């Protein structure tokens, strides 16, 4: 089986500049991205859903996304749903602060101790939601493997999706245009693996597509045919000198 891009969870923070809680969302998101789940998460700046391209708007369709909002306006959750797709889960700072009996975050530029504590608590909560979204709950953490920092994966660079986006491809299936997230990437992987557009590849391509897109069970045959036809065309284009 061809190796495919690793499934990750998307983290979208409101980053609200006007309130200390906005800074809490930002620091919590960064803690998850940089320290708690660096290998399993990716982020995008919220405004890119509008200021970016179609690839950016695919973000929450491609990645199960967890939004972190500072206030009840819930800009991150609502804007993600409006412009990309419904988040897998969403968190509001004030709810967690109240639920855990934490102090009020103050200092939007430099958080007070209560704000920092809130960021840590929310980061842990988001990390658990990441595990849930990816189905990795209960797997060994870095600490189980002997890493120095308990409950944290090894620190790596966080992945930023700004400007890179998720590649999409539109296919014509049963008289409708269907947008397929990640299909160009999947084609590329198969092509690099030297896979010919045969029946076995058709089935594997369909399975790969289903990781990132919803395929109605009754339409699987139509999808399989459209995908392998497009893959054959892709191979032909790529093979030209």
Partner 1 sequence: MSIKKQKVAIVPCSGIGKSFGTVGREAAYELCENLRPDDTQLVALSKLVLGDSAAREIVGRNPTVTIDGCKMMCAAKMVKQSGGTIAREATVFDAFRRHKNLKPEGIAELNEAGLKLAKVLAEELADAVAEINNLEAVKGERHD
Applying CB under 8 A, the residues found at the interface with partner 1 are 13-19, 22, 26-27, 29-31, 34, 43-52, 73, 75-76, 78-79, 82-83, 108-109, 158, 160-163
Structure tokens at 13: 């923070």
Q: Which is nearer to partner 1, 156 or 170 (CB)?
A: 156
Least Å from the CB of residue 34 to partner 1:
7
Q: Which is nearer to partner 1, 52 or 64 (CB)?
A: 52
CB 45 within 8 A of CB 99: no
Q: Which is nearer to partner 1, 31 or 131 (CB)?
A: 31
Q: What does the alpha-carbon distance between residue 21 and residue 15 come to, in Å, rounded to a whole number?
A: 8
CB 46 within 8 A of CB 15: yes
Q: Which residues of 88-103 are buried (b: 16+ CB within 10 A; e: fewer)?
A: bbbbbbbebbeeeebe
Q: Which is nearer to partner 1, 33 or 201 (CB)?
A: 33
Least Å from the CB of residue 161 to partner 1:
7
Least Å from the CB of residue 72 to partner 1:
12
Q: Which is nearer to partner 1, 48 or 208 (CB)?
A: 48
Least Å from the CB of residue 171 to partner 1:
28
Residue of 133, 158, 164 whose CA lies nearest to 30: 158
Half-sphere exposure of 180 (CA within 13 A, CB side): 27
Could you give the 3-state DSSP secondary structure of residue 169?
strand
Residue 13, CA distances (Å) to 81, 138, 157, 161, 217 in order: 13, 25, 18, 13, 34
Q: Which is nearer to partner 1, 110 or 237 (CB)?
A: 110
Least Å from the CB of residue 43 to partner 1:
6
Least Å from the CB of residue 38 to partner 1:
13
């Amino acid at each position: 089986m061809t190796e495919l891009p690793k499934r990750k969870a998307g983290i979208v923070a409101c980053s609200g500049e006007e309130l200390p809680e906005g800074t809490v969302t930002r620091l919590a998101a960064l803690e998850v991205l940089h320290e708690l789940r660096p290998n399993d998460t990716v982020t995008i700046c919220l405004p890119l859903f509008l200021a970016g391209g179609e690839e950016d708007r695919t973000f929450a369709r491609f990645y199960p996304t967890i939004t972190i909002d500072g206030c009840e306006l819930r800009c991150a959750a609502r804007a993600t749903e409006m412009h990309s797709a419904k988040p897998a889960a969403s968190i509001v700072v004030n709810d967690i602060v109240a639920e855990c009996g934490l102090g009020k975050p103050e200092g939007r530029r430099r958080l007070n101790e209560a704000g920092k504590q809130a960021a840590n608590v929310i980061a842990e909560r988001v990390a658990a939601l990441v595990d849930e979204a990816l189905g990795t709950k209960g797997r060994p953490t870095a600490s189980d493997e002997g890493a120095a920092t308990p409950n944290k994966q090894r620190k790596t660079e966080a992945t930023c999706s700004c400007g890179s986006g998720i590649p999409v491809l539109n296919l014509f299936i049963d008289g409708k245009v269907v947008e397929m997230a990640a299909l160009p990437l999947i084609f590329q992987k198969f092509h690099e693996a030297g896979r010919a557009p045969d029946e076995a590849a058709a089935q594997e391509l369909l399975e790969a597509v289903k990781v990132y897109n919803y395929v109605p069970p009754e339409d699987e045959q139509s999808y399989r045919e459209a995908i392998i036809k497009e893959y054959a065309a892709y191979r032909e284009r790529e093979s030209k000198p």
